[in-house]
C-alpha cells in the first residue's frame, strides 16, 4: 500500500488516475481503523475506480482537555486493512503539511457548530469542517464517504458541500455495530470490559425509544426519557439526548411532527461515546 | 458574449474547455466594470486559454447601512466590455443560485477579518471569503485575478487559498488609477465633481509618505500623519490610516523594521474610498 505524506505527492499520485479518466473516492479518517471504516472503504471501492484513504489525527478538532495525545495511532495496521478492502492509496499527512504556523482561515457552520456535540466540545466542528475542506481541496475526489455514527458531523459536511459548491458527492454509510449493538468507534478500545458490555445500553435505549415512536408516542420528552433511563440504568453518564429535525438538525421540542433523529452522547468511565437513531 | 446564470450551466460551459485541455482564468467582480477590472481581464486572457468573469453583487459582504441597494448594476455594458477585452464567458448568478434560504456555512479569517476595513464593516470579510470560496468551487479555475486596491481582501483571499489548499494560482494586479491619481473604483461615480478632484489627495498623501520613507523616515506615526494631513487638508474624512506588515498584515507600531504597506480609508461626501501603497 502506497503511503504519501505531503499534498504535493498526493496530487501527483491522484493526477495519474484522474488523467486516465478514473473516478476517485475518498474516505477521510483519523486512523485506528475498524470495521466501520472498512464499510466506507468497501463502498468507495465499489463505486469508484480508485479510492484514497486519508489518515490524520486533526489537532484543531480536539479541545484542550480531550484525548488528542492518547488517540490511538497505528499506521501500519491501518494501511494493511485498507489494502485488503480495496483502497489504492493512503494520505497520511504530517502536521506541518496540513497547518502552517500562521494558519488563519477556518470554516464555520454558524447555526449548528455550537449545538449538541459542539456545545460540549467548543471549536470541534470548526476543526472538522476546516480539515475536511482542506482534505477535499487536496484530494479533489468525485465522492467522499462518511459514517452515520457521527450524525451531526455528516450533516454539517453535507451542508458545507452544498453551501460552498464543492463538486463532490457525499455518501453516508449506516452505523457499523459490535455484536452487542454498541456503535463501532476507535474510542471503544478505551473501555473496560464491563463498560464495553454496559455501553450496549445506548443502542438498546435508542431502539426502545424508536419502538415507542413506531407505536405512536410523539412526545419528545417521553422519548428522551426512555434513552436517558436506559443509560442511567447501566451505569453510564448521559451528556445529552436530543431529538432533532432531519431537515435542519435544529432541536425539536414538544411533539414530533416531522422526520427526526435522536442524538445521544454518554460517558462510560472517562470515555465519551455517541450514537443516534433515525425515527 | 455568452452569459450563464446558474452553477450548473457554468459548469457545463467550462467543462467543454477543460476537457479539451484549456487553462481557465477567472475574474470575480461585482460588476460596474471599469478599466481596473479590464486590466484583470486582459491579464487573465493573456495567461489562460479561456477567461470567465463573474458578476455578482454579493449581499452578505454589505453591512445593513451600506450601499447594497444603490451599488451600480449594468450587466449589458459590463458584458460588452468583457468581450472586447478577451473574456469568453460571463457568470452572473441569481441570488437564489448562490445562497439557499438555509445557508449555514461561512469562511472566516480569524485574526484579520475584524481589522482595518473589517473593523468598520463588520461581517464584510466573512462575506467576501465565503463568496470567493463558492465562486472558486463553482468555476474551478487554474488562476484567479484580483486588484491590489482591495489590499486586505487580496491578502486574505491569497491566505484562504494557501490555508485551505485551493489548487488555484492567485494573481494580484497593480492599482489602476484615474489621471488624477485616484484609484479606480465602481464607487467613484458616486462622487461629486469636486469630491472626485479632491479625492486625488489620498494618493498624493500616500506618495508623500512613501517619499519620506524612502528618505529614511521610519516612524509609523510620522508617516500616518502625512497621509491623514493630506486628506484632512482636502476636505476628506479619514476613517483609518494603518501601516501593516506585508508578511502578516498585522499592524506595525513604533518604527518600521520590515516590509510594510500603508492602508487608508476615507470618506468624500458619503462615499467611502480605499487606497494603499507598498513602502
Q: Which domains does chain A have, with CATH numbers?
A: 3-173 (3.40.50.620), 186-278 (3.30.1300.10)
| Residue A178: pLDDT over 90 | yes
| pLDDT, position B107 | 98
Provide the β-strand partners of residue B237.
B267
Strand B271-278 to A169-173 pairing: unpaired
Secondary structure of residue A226 in the 3-state scheme: helix
- Residues A201 and A236 sit within 8 Å (Cβ to Cβ): yes
Beta carbons within 8 Å of A206's beta carbon, 6+ residues apart: A227, A262, A264, A275, A276, A277
- Residues B263 and B240 sit within 8 Å (Cβ to Cβ): yes
- Overall size of chain A counted in residues: 279
Largest Cα separation within chain A, whole Å, is: 57
- Residues A75 and A94 sit within 8 Å (Cβ to Cβ): no
Cell numbers of A204, please? 438498546
> In angstroms, rounded to a whole number, what is the distance separating the alpha carbons of residues A89 and A4?
8
Provide the β-strand partners of residue A101.
none
| pLDDT, position B201 | 97
Cell numbers of B145, please? 485575478
> In angstroms, rounded to a whole number, what is the distance separating the alpha carbons of residues A41 and A26?
8
> In angstroms, rounded to a whole number, what is the distance separating the alpha carbons of residues A138 and B162?
11
**How is chain B split among helix, strand and coil, in percent rounded to 5?**
40, 25, 35
Q: Is any Cβ of chain A less than 8 angstroms from the Cβ of B167?
A: yes
Distance from the Cα of A37 to chain B's closest Cα (Å) equals 25
* Cβ separation A112–B104 shorter than 8 A: yes
> In angstroms, rounded to a whole number, what is the distance separating the alpha carbons of residues B123 and A209?
43
Mean pLDDT of A51-67: 94
| pLDDT, position B244 | 98
| pLDDT, position B67 | 87
| pLDDT, position A20 | 92
Which among B134, B140, B164 has the least Cβ separation from residue A134?
Answer: B164
Q: Of B141, B164, B247, which to mutate for an interface test with A (greatest number of A Cβ within 10 Å)?
A: B164
| pLDDT, position A67 | 87
Mean pLDDT of A47-68: 94
Threshold 0.90, pTM exceeds: yes
| Residue A29: pLDDT over 90 | yes
Secondary structure of residue B62 in the 3-state scheme: coil
Secondary structure of residue A79 in the 3-state scheme: helix
Cell numbers of B248, please? 502578516
Query: Between residues 228 and 267 of chain A, which touch chain B (CB distance below 8 Å)?
Result: 248
Mean pLDDT of A206-229: 98
Residue B109, exposed/middle/buried by CB under 10 A (0-12, 13-18, 19+)? Answer: buried
Q: Is any Cβ of chain B less than 8 angstroms from the Cβ of A180?
A: no
- Overall size of chain B counted in residues: 279
Which among A137, A140, A159 has the least Cβ separation from residue B164?
Answer: A137
| pLDDT, position B105 | 98
**How does pLDDT run across A80-137, given as a tens digit for each residue?**
999 999 999 999 999 999 999 999 999 999 999 999 999 999 999 999 999 999 999 9
B37 is catalytic: yes
> In angstroms, rounded to a whole number, what is the distance separating the alpha carbons of residues A198 and A192?
10
Mean pLDDT of A65-89: 94
**How does pLDDT run across A256-274, given as a tens digit for each residue?**
999 999 999 999 999 999 9
Torsion of CA B213, B216, B220, B221, to 10 degrees: -100
| pLDDT, position B65 | 86
| pLDDT, position A27 | 98
Cell numbers of B16, please? 467543454
Handedness of CA A35, A37, A42, A43 (dihedral sign): positive
Closest-approach residue (CA) in chain A for B102: A248
| Residue A277: pLDDT over 90 | yes
**How does pLDDT run across B96-132, given as a tens digit for each residue?**
999 999 999 999 999 999 999 999 999 999 999 999 9
| Residue A195: pLDDT over 90 | yes
Q: Which residues in chain A are closer than 8 Å to B106, comparing Cβ atoms?
A: 107-108, 110
- Edge-to-edge strands of the sheet including A143-147? A3-4, A89-91, A50-55, A24-29, A143-147, A169-173
| pLDDT, position A229 | 98
pLDDT along chain B (279 residues), means of 10: 96 95 97 95 98 96 90 94 97 95 97 97 97 98 98 98 98 97 95 96 98 98 98 97 96 96 97 97
| pLDDT, position A65 | 86
* Cβ separation B134–A104 shorter than 8 A: no
ipTM of this complex: 0.95
> In angstroms, rounded to a whole number, what is the distance separating the alpha carbons of residues A163 and A109?
10
> In angstroms, rounded to a whole number, what is the distance separating the alpha carbons of residues B139 and B55?
13
How high is the mean pLDDT of chain A?
A: 96
- Of B17, B34, B37, B124, the active-site residue reads B37
Q: How far apart are the first and last CA of chain A?
A: 40
Provide the β-strand partners of residue B198.
none
Distances (CA, A) of B238 to A166, B229, B268: 40, 9, 9
A34: number of Cβ within 10 Å: 17
Amino acid at each position: 500500500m502506497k503511503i504519501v505524506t505531503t499534498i504535493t505527492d498526493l496530487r501527483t499520485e491522484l493526477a495519474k488516475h484522474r488523467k486516465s479518466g478514473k473516478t476517485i473516492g475518498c474516505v477521510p479518517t483519523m486512523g485506528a481503523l475498524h470495521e466501520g471504516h472498512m464499510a466506507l472503504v468497501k463502498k468507495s471501492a465499489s463505486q469508484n475506480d480508485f479510492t484514497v484513504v486519508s489518515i490524520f489525527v486533526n489537532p484543531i478538532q480536539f479541545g484542550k482537555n480531550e484525548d488528542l495525545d492518547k488517540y490511538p495511532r497505528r499506521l501500519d495496521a491501518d494501511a494493511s486493512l485498507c489494502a485488503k478492502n480495496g483502497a489504492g492509496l493512503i494520505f497520511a499527512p504530517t502536521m506541518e503539511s496540513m497547518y502552517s504556523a500562521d494558519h488563519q482561515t477556518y470554516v464555520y457552520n454558524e447555526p449548528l457548530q455550537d449545538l449538541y456535540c459542539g456545545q460540549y466540545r467548543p471549536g470541534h466542528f470548526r476543526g472538522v469542517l476546516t480539515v475536511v475542506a482542506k482534505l477535499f481541496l487536496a484530494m479533489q475526489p468525485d465522492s467522499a464517504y462518511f459514517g452515520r455514527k457521527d450524525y451531526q458531523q455528516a450533516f454539517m459536511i453535507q451542508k458545507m458541500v452544498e453551501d460552498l459548491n464543492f463538486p463532490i458527492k457525499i455518501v453516508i454509510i449506516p452505523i457499523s455495530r459490535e455484536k452487542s449493538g454498541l456503535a463501532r468507534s476507535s474510542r471503544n478500545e478505551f473501555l473496560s470490559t464491563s463498560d464495553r458490555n454496559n455501553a450496549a445500553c445506548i443502542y438498546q435505549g435508542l431502539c426502545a425509544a424508536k419502538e415507542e415512536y413506531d407505536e405512536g408516542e410523539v412526545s419528545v420528552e417521553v422519548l428522551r426519557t426512555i434513552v436517558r433511563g436506559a443509560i442511567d440504568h447501566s451505569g453510564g453518564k448521559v451528556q445529552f439526548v436530543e431529538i432533532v429535525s432531519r431537515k435542519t438538525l435544529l432541536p425539536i421540542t414538544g411533539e414530533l411532527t416531522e422526520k427526526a433523529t435522536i442524538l445521544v452522547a454518554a460517558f462510560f468511565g472517562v470515555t465519551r461515546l455517541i450514537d443516534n437513531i433515525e425515527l
